[in-house]
Each structure stands twice: as structure tokens, then as C-alpha cells.
Amino acid sequence: MNNQGIEIRWHGRGGQGAKSAALLLADVAFKTGAHVQGFPEYGPERMGAPITAYNRISNNEIRVHSNIYFPDLVVVVDETLLAAVDVTAGLKEDGAIIVNTAKKADEIRPLLNGYKGKVYTVDARRISVETLGKYFPNSPMLAAAVAVGKVMDTDLFISEMRASYEHKFAKKPEVIEGNMKALTKTIEELGEVL
Amino acid sequence: MRTDVNTINEKTPHEDLTEGLMMFAQATSKNFNTGEWRTNTPVFCAEKCKQCLLCAPVCPDSAIPVKDSKRSDFDYDHCKGCGICVKACPFGAIEMREGQ
Amino acid sequence: MSKKDRMSGNEAVAYAIRQINPDVMPAFPITPSTEIPQMVSTYIANGEMDTEFIPVESEHSSMSAAIGAEAAGARSLTATSSAGLALMWEELLLAASNRMPLVLALVNRTLSGPININCDHSDSMGARDTGWIQIYAENNQEAYDNFIQAYPIAEDKRVHLPVMICQDGFITSHAVENILLEEDAAVKEFVGEYNPEEFLLNPGKPIAVGPYSISSYAMEARYNQELAMENSKEVILEVAKKFKEKFGRGFELFEEYRTEDADYIMLIMGSAAGTAKQAVDDLREKGMKVGVLKLRVFRPFPAEEIAMALKNCKAVAIMDRTESYNGHGGPLASEVTAGLYRSKVMIETVCYTYGLAGRDFTVETAYEIFDELKDVAENGKKVKQHRYIGLRSKERS
């Protein structure tokens, strides 16, 4: 994150947790003392329909209250959106895009309307199933957004997320470890390409 | 803020009206002589009255006083002369007459 | 000590309600304000406050119950948006004319149609002449701070009017942002206990509220209501001053952002003011003298104060987030220009309608408007006085 801060756009489908991931990211970035904004673009709630959510994270006060048209980072929580939504619209060439897919970045790039910046892929389904036993893409994608966007130190991220999950899942402690593993595994796997 | 509402009338300037025209008194309708509006007058005939008390509850102006389970003559300060009591009386103990 | 936190605008208002712990909250849910009664009822269920929550079957009933509770002597409030506010219409006027100091947390959403759930100011602007004080927020912090100031304004003897605390639906109500929260005890102390002088449930001191009034009294009553609205201006400023002394954050009737030497000023309300301030900083770096006048208090309307604040600029953009369907601009356009005329401030104005039904207002839009103001003032560019910005059109604007 440079001094101007970072602007992130999330693409997901209703019900997958992209909005929750954006709000969680705002929450965890706040712990670093940063100014944060996390908000979804609202319409009637429809399961499975494309949705967009946003984050602004900055060392300065954030006053802008518009959507983000020129993001530094785009996170695509559902691979099928690549065919339905222009996910790289306005994405800065020196920015990056992260796609949830089992494919390699080279295989995804041709689907990105000629985008020339960095492309990362995260196999959130495999990571999620291996660590949580179920498909919840938002923990891996959140970890990927933090690592690729250099939102905060990843060790601090991990410790803050543990505190956050312990609070959030106080009544379901059995899911905490799985979620923590999903985060660390994503960061480890990304470590090889970053 | 509490004001003697009896000091307020149609000539009172806005400064002296109560906030939101709130009334700081109860049962102020008693102070209003609606009997003055009467054009026809019910007359109570005590000999014919069986004290069934069907008349008192239908009076819209509570102008039929009831004490110790017995009605007495009309409260003409408030009776508007609507005649509902005449219709309610099964014994012809109330008669409607023209004028006040 | 203030506590740094992060939360959405709805959470911030619910948090303030918990701290104030009013006596009665009747409410009916409607997007995007639903979270407020939802969070308040959770606080109640968790024993964190003991407000009497009344789930009602409509907003007509929620406002009626709030008025009834307030008349009975209870500090009351409700929350709503859009069509919910419209359904309260008759009661809004009653709350004000009966001089009930209750508070409404309004999360601004457009009124139909076309049916839409997103933000504009058509709900509160439609209710602008119902006799309510209206205060608008730029962000979650201001929604929180304004809410804390609401009861001290409403309950002041010089006022006794209801207060609507407005924030932009979704844009601030659902956006998580940084916020400074105050301690419960400090907020309670600032707001104080509610000790009404006259109320229904007061044995031995009978009153009647909202009696029928014949023509001989009703006009005087309305005038007194108007006087209370005029009086509220100084009360709003006094409460803001006390708020600043206690919590350090200052408020006025409006905020003047870099306007002191500005040639071009944008007059705007709500969340878009923050976006406009960013545009001002960017354009100032390029040497353009621009500023923002962010209107906080729309009712009472500070007409003369606005005229004085604008008198030295060359041109002003008056920004309405609603349509009046009158052929010459929205409520701000009409009221600001009337105020300028009465104060004989003859600067150029252009009235823009923006952001209807959630249409985004961006920094780039603000640049465009400032550029146009410059063109009007310097090159005598003729523009329509009532313009839409951010509209698709075959006609190049």
C-alpha cells in the first residue's frame, strides 16, 4: 500500500460472501491504524446474481463516497463472472487482479480483455475444501487480497484474523482452525508467485 | 408553561396561546354552554318514568344526570335537543317540544 | 476518552440510541434503515438497554405510537426510509404541530417511482415543510454526532419540535468506516435526563394534547410553530458548541470548506459533500480557487447565512439530490437563490440535479461542475439554470 492508499473492487455472486469479505478486510485493516472503507453496491438481494463490493484503505482520512472506477486491485470471487462482467474495467495497469480458479494465471489472462497488469490465481475451492471441508471462497480470497494488495503485514493479518474469528465464531469454535488454515495456506501458495 | 386556559379566548394574541394549543385542564367541555344551541327541547315527565335508565347512556352530551341509580331532570346548560333520548324511552316519559 | 472504532452509519446510529437509552421506540422495518431497529432490539434483548421497543404494523403506526409515547411523557424515537416516511406523512405534521420533541433516524432513500431502493433525498425533501428540524450527515461520524445532539435541540424549551437526523442510504448507512465513539456516561451526561414539564401521565396535572382548533386559533398556533423553528437555529448552534467543548468535534449550520478565497463554490448536502471536498483539494493543487459549502441544517433554513457565505464568490453550483418537478430546480435551488436575492447577493448560480435513485456522484463529476462554473463566470457560457449531471443524453451537455 502506498501513501495514496489502495482501492479494491470485489466481484462475486450474491451469497458467496464477497460483501462480507470486503467488510472483513475493512475490519482487519482498521487494526493497523489505517483509515478504511468497506461497502457493497446495493440492489435487490438476489442469490447468484453478480454483485460488487469495494474497499478503500489509506493512511489519510477517506472522504470520497463514490464507487471505485479505477481500482488498484480487483478480486474475482467466482470464475464464471469473467464471461459475464468486465472485471478489469478501469483496473490500473500497475495494479493486479486475483481470480478464484484452479487454472494458472497464463490460462486466465486471455479472458481478461487484454489486461496487461499482474494476474494471480487462487484455487479457493481446493483450499477451502481441504481446510474447511466445504466451499467457502471468502477466507482464501480475503487472504489473497491482503497479500497481493500488501494491505498489511501478513503475520499481523493472521493474528488479527484469529482474534476476529474467535469473536465471530464464539459459538462455533470448531470452524476457527479451518478458517485459519485456509488463510495461511492461501498466503503460502501465493508466496511462490508474488 | 401551565396556563389558565379560561383566560384564553378568540382575542388572545399568539404570544399568550399555549404551546401546540395544549389544554391545561380537564373536562373543559362543562364550561361550554352548548344548551344555547338547542332549538327543540326534551321535557322529562317524572310520573311516567320507570327509572329503566335507557336514556342516560345514549345522550351524546351527558346531559341526563344520574345519581343513586336514578335520573333527574335534564341538564339544560348542555342538552342540545337532539331527541335521541325521546326515541330511547320505552314509556313515553320524554316529550319533545319546540323552542328552548 | 473517545474510542477509535469502525462501523457502518446504521451501526453508529444504533450505538448512539443504545447510549441515550430513550424510553420508547416503535418501529417498522424498511430498507435501508431496517438495521437500526434490528440492532436496537438486539441491544434490548441482550440487556444492554431498556428502551420499550414496540413492533408495529406500519410506519403510520410507528409515528403515531412515537407521538403518543412522547405526549405521555416518554422520550421516544423511530427510524425509517423512503415510503415509510411517506406513510408517516400526516403524523409528521402532527408531531410538529403538537410540539413533540421526538427524534427520527432517517436513512435517505428515493421515493417511487420507478421503484428503487437506493439513495437520494426525495423522502426527506418531500417532508421539508412538515415542521421538522432536518440535519444531514456526510458520513457515519456525523450521523452519530448529530444523533447525540438531536434530543438536546428538540427538548429545549425554546424549540419543542421534532428532529430528523438524516444520512444517505447505503452510501453511509451500509459503509463501514472509521469512527470516534464517545463513552456511554459522557453521552448520557450530554443528552441528559428527559424531564418534560407537561405530559399526559402526570396525575393531578391534567392536559389535553392535539385538540381540535377552530380558525380563530389555528393560524396563531402555526405562527408559534414557525417561531419555534426560527428559535431552533440558535439552539442548534448552542448545542453544537457544547458538543465541541465536550467531544472536540465542531458543527455549524453549514461547513465552509476552503471557501474563504474561493471563486467557485459547490453547495451540497450529505455524503456527496466528502467527494466534493476531495475534488476541491485536487483542483486547488492545480491552482483553481474552489470550495464547498456543505449544508448541515436544512430546516431551519439558514438563508441569510448562506448568502453571506457565498457573497464573494463568482459562481455557485447548487446541488439537489431530488427533483421538484417545477421546471426550475430542486428545493435547494429554489431556497438558496431566494436567499441570495433577498440579501441582494447577485452572483451566478447553476442548479444541478444529481445522484437520483443511487446514481453515483464522483470526484470527476465535481471537476466537471467546477469547470463549467468557471466557463460561466469567465467566458459567459450560457447554461440552463436547471441542469442534470450524470445523465445519459443524446444532447451533449
CATH class given for the domain over C254-388: alpha beta
Q: How many residues can be counted in chain C?
A: 397
Number of separate domains in chain B:
2
Distances (CA, A) of C322 to C119, C183, C223: 10, 37, 28
Question: Please, which residues have CB within 8 angstroms of residue A167's CB and are 6 or more apart in sequence?
Answer: none
Return the pLDDT at A88. 98
**Which overall architecture, per CATH, does domain A6-191 show?**
3-Layer(aba) Sandwich (3.40)
In angstroms, the first-to-last Cα distance of chain A is 15
Q: Exposed, middle or buried by CB within 10 Å (0-12, 13-18, 19+), for C326?
A: exposed
Peptide bond before residue C114 is cis, with ω within 30 degrees of 0: yes
Does residue A45 have a pLDDT over 80?
Answer: no
Chain B positions touching C224 (Cβ under 8 A) are 14, 17, 19
- pLDDT tens digits along C25-59: 999 999 999 999 999 999 999 999 999 999 999 99
Task: Judge whether B7 is closer than 8 Å to chain C, CB to CB.
Answer: no
Residues A83-91 have a mean pLDDT of 96
List beta partners, residue C7: C177
Q: Residue ranges of the domains in chain A?
A: 6-191
Is residue B43 located within the same domain as residue B63? yes
Which three three-digit cell numbers place residue C98? 403538537
- pLDDT tens digits along B9-50: 999 999 999 999 999 988 888 888 999 999 999 999 999 999
Chain C positions touching B20 (Cβ under 8 A) are 97-100, 160, 209-210, 221, 225
Sign of the alpha-carbon dihedral angle for C189, C195, C197, C198: positive
- pLDDT tens digits along C354-364: 999 999 999 99
Residues C281-306 have a mean pLDDT of 98
Is residue B40 located within the same domain as residue B65? yes
Return the pLDDT at C324. 96
Q: Which among C174, C277, C363 has CB closest to A40?
A: C174
Q: Return the closest-CA partner of residue C13 out of C70, C66, C80, C65.
A: C80
Is residue B39 located within the same domain as residue B81? yes
CATH number of the domain residue B76 falls in:
3.30.70.20
Q: Looking at this protein, which amino acid is placed at residue C156?
A: D
Question: Please, which residues have CB within 8 angstroms of residue C109's CB and are 6 or more apart in sequence?
Answer: C30, C31, C32, C33, C81, C82, C117, C118, C119, C120, C123, C169
Q: How would residue A191 be classed by pLDDT, with cut points 50, 70 and 90?
A: confident
Q: pTM for the complete prediction?
A: 0.94
Is residue B58 located within the same domain as residue B91? yes
Is residue B25 located within the same domain as residue B43? no
Q: How far is CA C265 from the centre of its chain?
A: 21
CA distance A55 to chain C (A): 9
**Which overall architecture, per CATH, does domain C3-247 show?**
3-Layer(aba) Sandwich (3.40)
Is there a contact between C254 and C268 (Cβ–Cβ < 8 Å)?
A: no
φ, ψ (nearest 5 deg) of residue B72: -120, -165
- pLDDT tens digits along C52-73: 999 999 999 999 999 999 999 9
Percent pLDDT > 70 in chain A is 97
CA distance A109 to chain C (A): 30
Is there a contact between C306 and C338 (Cβ–Cβ < 8 Å)?
A: no
Instruction: Write down the ipTM of this complex.
Output: 0.93
Run of H or E including A108: helix A105-108
Is residue B97 located within the same domain as residue B48? yes
Peptide bond before residue B83 is cis, with ω within 30 degrees of 0: no
Is residue B20 located within the same domain as residue B43? no
Q: Where are the beta strands (DSSP E) in chain A?
A: 6-13, 35-40, 50-58, 73-76, 96-100, 118-122
For helices A124-132 and A138-149, what crossing angle results, to 10°?
120
Q: Residue ranges of the domains in chain C?
A: 3-247, 254-388
Q: Which domain holds residue B80?
A: 34-100
- pLDDT tens digits along C95-108: 999 999 999 999 99
Question: Please, which residues have CB within 8 angstroms of residue B78's CB and are 6 or more apart in sequence?
Answer: B30, B33, B34, B35, B61, B62, B63
Question: Please, which residues have CB within 8 angstroms of residue C73's CB and are 6 or more apart in sequence?
Answer: C196, C199, C200, C201, C202
- The angle at the Cα of B21, spanning B15 to B27, to the nearest 5 degrees, equals 130
**Disruptive mutation site among A35, A65, A68, A69 for chain C (greatest number of C CBs within 10 Å):** A65
Is residue B22 located within the same domain as residue B55? no
Does residue C21 have a pLDDT over 90?
Answer: yes
Which three three-digit cell numbers place residue C313? 464568490
Cα–Cα distance, C393 to C397 (Å, whole number): 8
Cα–Cα distance, A134 to A124 (Å, whole number): 11
Q: Return the closest-CA partner of residue C353 out of C50, C70, C120, C42.
A: C120
CA distance C324 to chain B (A): 30
Run of H or E including B41: strand B40-44
